[in-house]
Structure 1
Amino acid sequence: MLANFLKAAGICCCLFLLSACDSGDEAPKKPITPVRTQAIISQNLTKDVRYTATIEANSQVNLSFKVTGYVTSLLQEKDASGKDRPVQSGDIVAKNTVLAIVDDKDAANNTKQAGAQVATAQANLNKANEDYKRAQELYKSNSMTAPDYDAAKQEYETAVASLSSAKAAQKSAENDQKDYNLKAPIHGVIIQRNVDVGSLVSPSVVGFVIADTETVKIAFGVPDTMASTLKLGQNQSFTTQSIPDRIFSGTITEISAAADTNTRVFDVEVTAKNEDSSLKVGMIAALNVAKSSATQTAALIPLSAVVAAKDSKEGYAVFVTTSDGSKTIAKLTDVELGQVYGNNIAVLKGVEPSDQIIVSGATLVTDGEQVSIIP
């Protein structure tokens, strides 16, 4: 009888242990994932093509010296502390401002010598003029022979010619001396300075590069299919990565008549005002050029709704919510995507206008999973 009791007790213990083990192995249920959904947006969009362009100066001059010699001085500007410093890249200079001076001692001596020759020629002319006037009076009173009168007249005419030649030489010497001053030919900004005080320069040396940037040009190329849609005077907006929160505008001022033989594109220039100098030469600009005046209707969804396709590494999909009784189920649906428009992207195939797309939490759910829609 005791043996039967012990046997029964052992069976009960085993059943209790098995029950305890089964209770411990039961996995907790995954909480329902909260998501946000949004209806597909249908919007009329202009067919635009995006181009990258380079910002160029309206005009740019490589300023070379006319003479050979050593630079003795440079234009001085004020630095942040108020001290004088040589003109440098980024400084704005007015037209005809002297940027650099080359040693002009020899030219100055030539100018002085030419001035002395003018003075001598003027004195000779004054004497010849007096002699000629006197000869005229004497010749009228028959007190001078014709050969003497002709000699006085010839001396006067020679003196006039000598003075004219001396003045021309003086003017040439003065102009030569001015060539030792290198002046800005336009009002603009210094792009580059290549010389310092003491530099030996010659007519082949580019001392400065100066550019007019009060207006700038945005240069880019388009294929023949786009060239026909562009017109001179047409307004065109553009942006830059350097100033991403600002939209600039300009006008198409040049469209090349022939395509480049190498690239097969037509060069286009947009001219824009740059009064605040925010646009710098060499910046990269981006333009959306309208392909045509017609618009197309596109189904748009946020970029955050797009996930990888289940069966294709290169494909894309979205989660569409469906109802299963009282439950809301996330259904993975393959889609074909189009062009990006800001934070949205066009969907060409795979969804219907009435579908609700998961736009927040799409990366946290799986196909067929129950979800909870939150506002």
Structure 2
Amino acid sequence: MKYKWKLLLIIPVAAVVVFGLLKAGGNLAGGKDADKDTVNNAVQTVVVKEVTRAKMENVMSLTGTLEALHEASVSSKVAGRVSRVAVENGHRVSPGQSLVFLEYTEYRNALSSNQALLQKANAALLTARSNHDRFSELHKQGAVSDKDFEDISTALALAEADVSSAEAAVSNAEENLRNATINAPLGGVVADRNVNVGQVVSPGMQLMTISDISSVYAVVNIEQAKIAQIKPGLKAVITLDAYPGKTFEGVVDIINPVASKSARVFETKIKINNRDGLLKPGMFAKADIKIGGAEEVAAVSRDALTDREGLYFVFMARDGKAVRQQVQIGKMIDQLVEIKSGLAPGQKVIVTNVNKLKDQDSIKIAE
């Protein structure tokens, strides 16, 4: 009987504990759901702006690649082993600045040897001239035969030729010695350095490139149907993925008068001042060449745009909801972007926190 009472007491207590745990678990789950509903239904305060009409210049939009204003390949004119390299990629150099030094002992010795030969040839020439002068008088007096005087004259001519040859050899030796130091052909920036100390170089071997990037060219290709609209002096706006939101001014400078045989396009170079050194040869560039005239287009602030997988969207403010709308964009002007389709002037679009919004989120328009 004692055990029965204990069992009866345990059962109600266990039931109370289980009920309490179930109730607590229900409250926890309900709390999570409630929080989730609160997040989904939270009203976000946003700023809206109307789709406006903006005047945009007619431009021809093109893509291309940047290249240096001037570029020169640096190579050795003589063979030799490199003893020192004075520059690295990216170093700025002046015209004539020394870049690479070759071992020059062989060239110095060759110069000394040829200078000695020149001295010997000059001495022989003095003797030949003296003999010629002396025998010339004797020949006039009939004391020397024509044959002997002809031999003396020939010896003088040979001595003069030997001096000329020796002088040329000295000049070549001096040039070779000078060429053992390789200098910059123009001012610019060192690129593509391909030489190291101890390396043996041969004549014509490319060692590095010097690029003058004080200004650069944006090189674009223009179809033959559009080339008549382009002429030197037209202004252009250049943008690069490397510098989002930054623009560079350029001018059409060079138009190839002959189309490429393969693609039938005309290579055109747009000159851009690179005073800050931000533009590098090889960068991908977008160019908008201003071809004259202007038109009114629907436009929104760039802040209204969001993109996904190459498509562009805006959020419209409609009946307290953020409604996502796909749009097709066109040209950029300052902080505005042309809307080709998807919106009309007067409609209101959200311009704050668009990357955090979802379609049909509740919103409140800021006063």
TM-score, normalization by structure 2: 0.71
In the TM superposition, residue 56 of structure 1 has moved relative to its aligned partner by 1.0
Q: Which residue of 1 aligns with 2:299?
A: 300
Q: Give, in whole Å, the separation in 2 of the partners of 1:330 and 1:245.
A: 30
**1:232-268 deviation per Cα after TM superposition (whole angstroms, max 9, x unaligned):** 2222221334444643222212233454455554322
In the TM superposition, residue 315 of structure 1 has moved relative to its aligned partner by 8.6
For 1:296, give the aligned amino acid: E
Classify 1:35/1:213 alpha carbon distance in 2 versus 1 (closer, same or farther; 3 Å): closer
Q: Give percent identity, aligned residues only.
A: 23
Larger radius of gyration: 1
Does structure 1 residue 64 correspond to structure 2 residue 57? no
For 1:176, give the aligned amino acid: N
Q: Which residue of 1 aligns with 2:330?
A: 339
SS of equivalent to 2:162: helix
SS of equivalent to 2:196: coil
Q: Which residue of 1 aligns with 2:317?
A: 319
**1:59-101 deviation per Cα after TM superposition (whole angstroms, max 9, x unaligned):** 22332223333112333xxxxxxxxxxx111112222333223
In the TM superposition, residue 43 of structure 1 has moved relative to its aligned partner by 1.9
In the TM superposition, residue 359 of structure 1 has moved relative to its aligned partner by 5.4
Q: Give, in whole Å, the separation in 2 of the partners of 1:65 and 1:132.
A: 46
Q: Give, in whole Å, the separation in 1 of the partners of 2:117 and 2:65.
A: 57
In the TM superposition, residue 212 of structure 1 has moved relative to its aligned partner by 1.8
Structure 1 runs not aligned, ≥5 long? 1-26, 76-86, 322-328
Alignment RMSD: 3.8
Q: Give, in whole Å, the separation in 2 of the partners of 1:314 and 1:373.
A: 23
In the TM superposition, residue 190 of structure 1 has moved relative to its aligned partner by 0.8
**1:163-205 deviation per Cα after TM superposition (whole angstroms, max 9, x unaligned):** 1222222223333333333222222211122222211222363
Q: Which residue of 2 aligns with 1:137?
A: 137
Classify 1:201/1:360 alpha carbon distance in 2 versus 1 (closer, same or farther; 3 Å): closer
Q: Which residue of 2 aligns with 1:279?
A: 279
Classify 1:57/1:145 alpha carbon distance in 2 versus 1 (closer, same or farther; 3 Å): same
Structure 2 runs not aligned, ≥5 long? 1-33, 35-40
Q: Is the 8 A contact 2:324 2:358 kept in 1?
A: no
Q: Which residue of 1 aligns with 2:4?
A: none
**1:110-167 deviation per Cα after TM superposition (whole angstroms, max 9, x unaligned):** 3222212211111111112122222233334444444443333332222222212222
Q: Which residue of 1 aligns with 2:178?
A: 178
Q: Is the 8 A contact 2:328 2:342 kept in 1?
A: yes
Q: Which residue of 1 aligns with 2:128?
A: 128
Q: Give, in whole Å, the separation in 1 of the partners of 2:119 and 2:62.
A: 68
Q: Which residue of 1 aligns with 2:84?
A: 73
Does structure 1 residue 166 correspond to structure 2 residue 166? yes
Q: Which residue of 1 aligns with 2:12?
A: none
Q: Give, in whole Å, the separation in 2 of the partners of 1:245 and 1:141.
A: 97
Q: Is the 8 A contact 2:327 2:340 kept in 1?
A: yes
Q: Which residue of 1 aligns with 2:108?
A: 108
In the TM superposition, residue 301 of structure 1 has moved relative to its aligned partner by 3.7
Q: Which residue of 2 aligns with 1:44?
A: 55
1:229-248 to structure 2, matched below 5 A, reads 229-244=229-244, 246-248=246-248
TM-score, normalization by structure 1: 0.70
SS of equivalent to 2:287: strand
Q: Is the 8 A contact 1:51 1:286 kept in 2?
A: yes
SS of equivalent to 2:229: coil
SS of equivalent to 1:88: coil
**1:198-220 deviation per Cα after TM superposition (whole angstroms, max 9, x unaligned):** 11222363212221222211112
For 1:286, give the aligned amino acid: K
